[in-house]
Amino acid sequence: MGYLDNKVAIVTGSGRGIGRAVAEMFAREGARVVIADKDQEPANEAAAAAKAAGAEAAVLAGDITQPDFPAKLVETAISSFGRLDILVNNAGYTWDGMVHKMDDQQFQAMLDIHLLAPFRLIRAAAPYMRDQAREEIARGETVQRKIVNVTSVAGLMGNVGQANYSAAKAGLVGLTKTVAKEWGAFNINCNAVAFGIVDTRLTRPKEQGETVDGKAVGIPDQIRSMMLKMVPQRRPGSVEEAASGIFYLASPFSDYVNGEVLKVDGGFYA
């Protein structure tokens, strides 16, 4: 028996990194998972890993920022598994720059991936989460559902060179709290998890040359070293540790936690 038995979960950005760790953790706990990623091959690999853990898995590859993709993703969950219980808005990347050098496209790109896409996905899920709950409540049934939005400590405190990312993640906190208030009466918990430095391609030394859509990602090694000194635990978190925070907010352990931001940052924001 797993803590997520018979639950159906959508996890965006789950072809690699934190998202994949979440999908695999959910699978081990009995959930059926919908893997969503921009890249087909990593998505297929993540689905294979979920199946190896004993779960059913479906895949939809595509660009989460496209207006019609969120609805297609929800439709994939319903057509594959007939229901939707957990929604994890995890997909994202960084495109850093100083305010005085940042153009509108660079700023808007972060709003599109980190704020508008989660909004669209939550809206698309409404018939199968909010409306379904209304029918269940009328029958005297209680089914707890969860939405977990991935934000960042940058959205809580700002970060030099990340005005676009910080603004988008701060907006996601506002969206989280609003959905919690609007949908709480329907047994839907909406929370956010704010990550600090987690070992993914977005936070590894920029000198390693990793990119997303041709855009360099990572943190310059000198700055990264300084940031890690500000973490009481003096190290980045692992993707498994990050996934554990999301699992908590998706599990029955958090049934009376709503509208909160859980910081998983090794004490960086303490």
CATH of domain 8-196+237-264: 3.40.50.720
Whole-model pTM: value is 0.95
* Token duo for residue 35: 């893997």
- Going by pLDDT thresholds of 50, 70 and 90, the confidence category of residue 233 is very high
Query: Percent of the chain beyond pLDDT 70?
Result: 100
Q: CB-based burial of residue 121 (10 Å sphere; 0-12 exposed, 13-18 middle, 19+ buried)? A: buried
**DSSP single-letter state for residue 160:** T
How far apart CA 46 and CA 23 sit, in angstroms, is 8
Exposure letters 227-249 (e unless 16+ CB within 10 A, then b): bbeebeeeebbebebbbbbbbbb
Given a cut of 90, whether residue 221 has pLDDT beyond it is no
Active site residue 165: yes
CATH 3.40.50.720 domain position(s) in the chain: 8-196+237-264
Interval 176-203: pLDDT, tens:
999 999 999 999 999 999 999 999 988 8
How crowded is residue 176: how many other Cβ atoms within 10 Å of its Cβ? 25
Beta pairing partners, 150: 193
How far apart CA 228 and CA 241 sit, in angstroms, is 16
How far apart CA 14 and CA 38 sit, in angstroms, is 9
Identify the active-site residue in 3, 128, 165, 248. 165
How far apart CA 139 and CA 141 sit, in angstroms, is 6
In which region does residue 211 sit, left (phi positive, over 0), alpha (psi from -120 to 50) or beta (all else)?
beta
Average pLDDT over residues 223-234: 90
Q: CB-based burial of residue 104 (10 Å sphere; 0-12 exposed, 13-18 middle, 19+ buried)? A: exposed
Given a cut of 90, whether residue 206 has pLDDT beyond it is no
pLDDT at 247: 99
Rounded to whole angstroms, what are the CA distances from 99 to 162, 178, 211? 8, 28, 21
